[in-house]
Amino acid sequence: MTPSVTTGRRTATRTAPRTGPVDEALRGVLDAVPFACAAFDRRSGALVCANARFGADLGTLPGHAQRDALLATLHGEATGDARGDEVRAPGSGRWYALHWRDLDTNGRSLALLTAVDISERIETLDSHRSQQEKLLFTSRMMSVGEMAATLAHELNQPLAAIVNYLNGSLRLVGQAGGPVQVERALQAARTQAEHAAAVIARVREFVRAREPRRDAQDLPLIVDTVLELLRLEAERQQLRVELALAPGLPQVYADRVMVEQVLLNLVKNAIEAMREVPAARRGLRIEGRVNLDGEVEVRVCDRGPGLSEAESAQLFSPFYTTKSDGLGIGLAICRSIIEYHEGRLFFEARDGGGSVFGFTLPPPDRRI
Ligand SMILES: Nc1ncnc2c1ncn2[C@@H]1O[C@H](COP(=O)(O)OP(=O)(O)OP(=O)(O)O)[C@@H](O)[C@H]1O
Ligand SMILES: [Mg+2]
């Protein structure tokens, strides 16, 4: 049974559609069409008749017997960049291209609808798009990777030398019972150089293997390491650092050095953003929590000038920088690292002024 039968009855009291040989002839024609096809009365919008395919594909939708109600149902579901005449049927989830034609037959003004199932084409497009995204991601990763390989290569030697010189100096100061301030400064310098060397070693390994080395990690330890590396900088800027890590935070499944790198970049950016801000307002807050999707989320919140919409659109592109001494590569690296971890790097405006840069990481029990 086609839906037109139901419709005919339901609308009979109001619009009294003529049924008879003309409709029968029309139905005969519609039934011969290999895709969903229906005729609506142009004035009232009521369904006059439809073929069996229409009944099967769209005939169960709410409002299918009225042109406007049917369109509202279908267009309500249209998503993304689908064209206006390409709609998705709720329920079945199939895509249709809609075509309308006016048809005047036997004194009757009809609007003829054909709905061609284009689900296959849309699915192919979607899969191409996701392949393109993957390709883009890979090429971004490769350019970052190549640059990292060059840097790692060039920096490795001088860094090893710096650590050696610092070790030697520390020994000398120790033997001489030298000033404790000098000893502390040398130790701090060695910690920095060792971290840099660890990052470089990790990058070299990563570029070679193109695989992060991931296991269960404690987020508070990662945050501590990063804050220790930035302690001097924070003190110099008289920066208040507020830590708000939710108690009992689950471990994250991550490459420790890489996540440290991400956090270091974000915190450095936050500190740099507050250079011009009056000292009383300069406050950095690092939050750690489990978000609604069950991912661990880290948020670095500053009271800097924030970002305009235009600025935030370019934020993650490599080489975008507003700093005279910036390379504009920090956030691009962060994004690549976080994407590798199947996480998300994001930016939000902060309530009360400033920015929030954050990322998510899957907990170990959700690793892929
Ligand atoms: N917390 C922040 N507040 C305001 N603007 C920011 C913040 N973080 C980043 N930005 C903007 O994004 C740009 C890109 O940041 P990114 O870290 O990628 O590069 P950079 O800091 O300029 O240089 P570097 O390569 O040394 O990190 C910055 O130049 C700045 O304009
Ligand atoms: Mg930066």
User: Could you write out the three-class secondary structure of the chain?
Assistant: CCHHHHHHHHHHHHHCCCCCHHHHHHHHHHHCCCCEEEEEECCCCEEEEECHHHHHHCCCCCCCCEHHHHHHHHHHHCCCCCCCCEEECCCCCCEEEEEEEEEEECCEEEEEEEEEECHHHHHHHHHHHHHHHHHHHHHHHHHHHHHHHHHHHHHHHHHHHHHHHHHHHHHHHHHCCCCHHHHHHHHHHHHHHHHHHHHHHHHHHHHHHCCCCCEEECHHHHHHHHHHHCHHHHHHCCCEEEEEECCCCCCEEECHHHHHHHHHHHHHHHHHHCCCCCHHHCEEEEEEEECCCCCEEEEEECCCCCCCHHHHHHCCCCCCCCCCCCCCCHHHHHHHHHHHCCCCEEEEECCCCCEEEEEEECCHHHCC
CA of residue 334 to ligand 2 center, whole Å: 10
For residue 209, what pLDDT band results from cuts at 50, 70 and 90?
low
CA of residue 14 to ligand 2 center, whole Å: 69
**pTM for this entry:** 0.56
Which residue's structure tokens are 């975008």?
320
CA of residue 44 to ligand 2 center, whole Å: 62
Rounded alpha-carbon distances, angstroms, from residue 8 to 17, 60, 179? 7, 16, 99
Question: Quick check: CB of 321 below 6 Å from ligand 1?
Answer: yes
For residue 137, what pLDDT band results from cuts at 50, 70 and 90?
low
More confident residue, 250 or 4: 250
Question: Quick check: CB of 261 below 6 Å from ligand 1?
Answer: no
Note the pLDDT tens digit of each residue in 306-330: 999 889 888 888 788 898 878 788 8
pLDDT at residue 78 tops 80: no
Q: Which of 18-27, 81-90, 236-245 has the lowest mean pLDDT?
A: 18-27
CA of residue 219 to ligand 2 center, whole Å: 21
pLDDT at residue 202 tops 80: no
Which atom of ligand 1 is nearest the CA belonging to 305? Answer: 4
User: Ligand 1 atom 9: the closest Cα is on which residue?
Assistant: 269
Question: What is the spatial distance between Cα 263 and Cα 222, in angstroms, rounded to a whole number?
Answer: 8
CA of residue 268 to ligand 1 center, whole Å: 9
Question: Quick check: CB of 315 below 6 Å from ligand 1?
Answer: yes
Which atom of ligand 1 is nearest the CA belonging to 304? Answer: 3
What pLDDT was estimated at residue 356?
Answer: 98
Beta-carbon contacts of residue 90 (< 8 Å; ≥ 6 apart): 61, 73, 74, 76, 77
Amino acid identity of 319? Answer: F
Question: Quick check: CB of 193 below 6 Å from ligand 1?
Answer: no
Pocket probe for ligand 1: among 199, 281, 323, 334, the residue whose CB has the most ligand atoms within 8 Å is 323
Question: Quick check: CB of 327 below 6 Å from ligand 1?
Answer: yes
